[in-house]
Amino acid sequence: MPLRYPDKKYLIFTSNRLREEWHNEKAVTYAELNNLLSEAGNGQDDIYWVKFNLSDY
């Protein structure tokens, strides 16, 4: 559920989607796996915030 920042200028939301790289079946090295796990889109919650002005909509 998106939240509005207290100053009402930003919208905050999370996503736990997996990037496309996680859907292929090829083997990966430890270094590749470590990189995938430390970036956004790894299936764990990522936090996003965007400028938001209700009067623009």
pLDDT per residue over 6-22, tens digit each? 888 899 999 888 877 66
- Domain hosting residue 26, numbered range: 3-56
What local confidence, expressed as pLDDT, does residue 21 receive? 66
In this structure, the number of other CB atoms found within 10 A of the CB of residue 17 comes to 10
Q: pTM (2 decimals)? A: 0.58
**44 is written with which tokens?**
């764990």
- How many domains are contained in the chain? 1
- Alpha helix positions (H), 6-57: 30-37
What local confidence, expressed as pLDDT, does residue 57 receive? 66
Average pLDDT, the chain: 84
Q: Following CA atoms 33, 39, 45, 51 in sequence, which dihedral angle do they give, to the nearest 10 degrees?
A: -170
Segments in the chain below pLDDT 50 = none
What local confidence, expressed as pLDDT, does residue 14 receive? 92
- From CA 16, how far away is CA 31, in angstroms rounded? 22
